[in-house]
Amino acid sequence: MRRAVAALDGLLKWAGALVLFAMMILTFIDVVMRDLLESPLYGSFEITELLLVVLIYVGLPLVSRAGEHVTLDTLDPMFNRGQRVLLDRLANLVNGTALLGVAWLMMRRAARMAGNGDTSAQLQIPYWPAAYFMAALLVVTAIIHLSYVFTGSPRSHSPAEPSPKGDTVGSIL
Any idea what DSSP says for residue 127?
S
Please name which of 12, 138, 141 lies closest in space to residue 64, comparing C-alpha atoms. 141
Any idea what DSSP says for residue 41?
P
Residues 6+ apart with CB under 8 A from 30: 40, 41, 44
Contact (Cβ atoms closer than 8 angstroms) between residue 130 and residue 50? yes
Give the model's confidence band at 159: pLDDT under 50 very low, under 70 low, under 90 confident, else very high: low
Helices (H), 37-166: 44-66, 81-116, 128-151
Round to whole Å and give the CA distance between 114 and 119. Answer: 9
Give the model's confidence band at 158: pLDDT under 50 very low, under 70 low, under 90 confident, else very high: low
* pLDDT tens by residue, 41-89: 999 999 999 999 999 999 999 999 998 888 877 888 899 999 999 999 9
Q: What is the pTM of this model?
A: 0.84
What is the predicted pLDDT for the residue at 165?
47
* pLDDT tens by residue, 27-36: 999 999 999 9
